[in-house]
Structure 1
Amino acid sequence: MKKSTFLMASLLSLLPAAALAHPHVFVEARLEVVADDDGNVAELRNVWRFDEVFSSSVVLDFDKNTDLKLDPNELAEVGKTVRDSLVDYDYYMNLTMNGKNIKVEKPDLIHVDYKQGQLLMFFAVKPAEKMPLKGRLTFGVYDPTLYTSIDFPSDNELVLVGDSFKSCKHQVVRPDADQVIAENKQSLTDAFFNDPTGTNMSKLFATRLDVTC
């Protein structure tokens, strides 16, 4: 089966489900949750830095003039491809408001750069519905297919921005995989490990920012 080396959604449509049970792409991320002056979540700003192996494969796919680098127009094409591809995966955003899942709107633009052998992406998304700072909110970034490992190198990479958050408490939660499996034995069936896209349970393993207002 012919595979595209680029980006997650394209790969997901081509690879057999069993191959998706562990990460193939590795990303170091930063997430800034921004609140407006009215006490609502305004947007979520993302920075993704991809591993060198995957980044080099992107260069091979998008370096149309074969000069071994990505020119501005080629970088723009990468951003457009990602913007179109990840819409079905909600751009890997994992937002909840008092237990309710909140989707996000399509970003206006995904900015892409390539520095020191690594692909960088910068983009902001907005909640698809009003998200007031009331009760318990969670914010995270994860790939429900487990194809891409998204890691926050330190707790400082999960940030609250805006005076409206001053009355809220927050903590970064990094679930222990063994503990998650032990606590969810009945839910995490063989079907989950063979095809996580059909269960949406991978978020149990994802680092997240818990906010209580």
Structure 2
Amino acid sequence: MVPLALALTAFGAPAALAHPHIFAQARLEVVANDKGQVSELRNVWRFDDMFSASVLLEFDHNSDAKLDAKELAEVGQTVLESLGEYNYYTTIFDNGKSVKLSKPDVIHADFKDGQLLLMFAAKPAQPIPLKGTFSIGIYDPTMYTAMDFPTDNDLVAVGDKFKSCKHKVVRPDPDEVIAQNQATLTSAFFNDPTGTNMSKLFATRIEFTC
């Protein structure tokens, strides 16, 4: 069993970082406020059965084969403390400039139909006005966790101010990414993607033009 904090940050598994071992289906809502700024990113992540079972085993302290409210809160707090170094798997580019994600107030955990769900909302660390072009993607820079958006409708824009913008979902083709970036995607990247941060090239993202 791999502890949740270690699994989500890919510590303790350096030999296997080049391909995912955890799988999650994701949903992202990009929210705009009345000032015409991106005000919040709302995330829902649903994890695969095998990883969810390992979380149940790790955090079921009273051995009743379920996670109660206190145990679920511990799961959420563990993830909150673990993923800060990885910007909570969120990559934001505002007119070509990288923007950090502020630490969420809380990460809510739940367990439904044998699967772990994590839900949280967070704000960009600096205002992102709805001007020019910007993109938001969700990916694990270690490539240990595969974040999948089943349909384009799982990346959505929320708020009337987005009516003046166009947006599209981009799903990069891995073969094309590798072919276009052979000079930078060296063998070192596949052995240690944490050191190059190039896996953002493979991330599904939503792009806006305003």
TM (norm. structure 1) is 0.96
| Equivalent residue in structure 1 for 2:139, among 139, 142, 148 | 142
Q: Which amino acid aligns with 2:149?
A: F
Q: Any conservation in 2 of the 1:8–1:86 contact (CA below 8 Å)? A: no
- Residue 4 of structure 1 and its aligned partner are, at CA, apart by 3.4
1: CA distance, partners of 2:11 / 2:118? 22
1:11 CA drift (Å): 5.0
Which runs of 5 or more residues in structure 2 are unaligned?
Answer: none
Q: Report whether the alignment pairs 1:22 with 2:19.
A: yes
Query: What CA deviation, in whole Å up to 9, does each residue of 1:148-196 have, x standing for no partner?
Result: 0000000000000001111001110100011111111111000000000
Conservation of the 8 A alpha-carbon contact between 1:5 and 1:11: no
2:83 corresponds to 1:96: no
Give runs of ≥4 in structure 1 deviating > 6 Å.
none
**Sequence identity percentage:** 63
User: Which whole-Å CA distance do the structure 1 matches of 2:131 and 2:167 have between them?
Assistant: 13
Aligned residue type for 1:91: Y
Secondary structure, aligned partner of 1:27: strand
1:19 CA displacement: 1.4
The 5 A counterparts of 1:2-81 are 4-7=2-5, 11-16=9-14, 18-81=15-78
| Cα-to-partner distance string for 1:77-123 (whole Å, 9 max, x where unaligned) | 00000000001111001111011111011101111110110001110
Normalised TM-score (structure 2): 0.97
Post-superposition shift, 1:6? 1.1
AA aligned to 2:4 is F
3-state SS, counterpart of residue 7 of structure 1? helix
Change in Cα spacing, 1:199 to 1:56, as seen in structure 2 (3 Å) is same
In structure 2, the CA distance between the partners of 1:9 and 1:96, relative to structure 1 (3 Å rule), is: farther
Against the structure 1 CA distance between its residues 100 and 8, is the aligned structure 2 distance closer, same or farther, given a 3 Å change threshold?
A: farther
- Equivalent pairs counted in the alignment come to 210
